[in-house]
A and B are shown apart, each in its own frame.
Chain A
């Protein structure tokens, strides 16, 4: 018994060291990202303005055929001809190409960008091991208190980001904001929220813990990615509007905004991400209700945490409705998405810290 306790304490200690190490590596990744942005600013990109002024005569790809390389069954490749698809922008929408990314095509910037991503991968691995050893030290899922919740949350957020990278999605713009947030999140975790590793109180003993909390954390991480995209969309959209109406944005704004994806791409990305995870969020709430039914004898009791999950859910439903309602697309819907994420954040931090309810196991 005592021996086990000692190993557990050892593991908990190792976990702490790993978390601190990951913070150091994230910090390096942060600097690398900064360097990427800095060197990237050397390149002169002005494609947005060019595209916006050229839009009048948007000669889309010439109809005809394109040659497509196809892998044959026996390994060789053959070249096929196939007709080219001509696409047409929605009436009134801007036809703007995506920016080149933080490095702006600058070679050195690109090198730093790659270093930043590699460092992020490393930091992620270290942090994930930190979470894992923590879980081993307490011999349960590492979601018993706010500290554990935070370290898991940032790990999952980074995993989502790296997942998009692996899927070859245009997600480089997320790098700097993500690493910054993760550093803040971990900083908060190790200073304010730290709780020594320990067992769960009986009310938390349930397999619903695994189901409900893991999906909640995952949803949060994806909502976070969606919210960053929405925020950048708002900036980029303002920038594009200004250009389109003949304005001249400041030098710094130009330098940064030029390198982001087009507003339309960011908007579409954030919608897809939010919409994709909304059913899972619905499931999370239902799983929570089932658990509450087992643990507290009622499925729904308007406990502050439940209430805020509900508010978050309705806010995202609002957002989805807004997207389907003509007058609310674009910026207005984006504000709703940000409000919805604000609700999620409040549910996560605010309710645990400011409001007391049955969920206040948070251990702050």
Chain B
């Protein structure tokens, strides 16, 4: 909803030419895919399935297409969510769970993001930078090596994951001022790098 437009405007601001699409062909041709994820977990999965995009999207992401997931676009990468009945994309083993503490839910506002490993998407962004969050659920990856960043809300949780072509975050870079724009700019740069498979063919 408003979310989609915000992401589009922020991407334009950093020099991307984003296209909002549900066309598989356009997704295949794109240099990268951004999935902001809007609404509830099940609605999102069903929406992709109804458009015939669920399996193709999984294949594109698994096939090495640069992928930026935001909020639900992160949660969907996992197997199951406490929020819904549908299965996620299952690209990463693990669950999506609801905050279980006495603090306010959803978490709404600015919180600090601490890198867990070097991630190209976070180049030039200081550890502990503030990003804007709006969520009640967070991901619990089975494989801790994909945890890109952590954040503290009642307890420490995984606020972004990273593996190869995939970076997905719980926070909203499109609403996180300078730090968020830098992340989007980094993503844009990374989509310009020729993937290894195509590089081999060229050589």
Q: Tell whether A and B belong to one assembly.
A: no
Could you list which residues of chain B lie within 8 angstroms of chain A, going by C-beta atoms?
none
Could you list which residues of chain A lie within 8 angstroms of chain B, going by C-beta atoms?
none
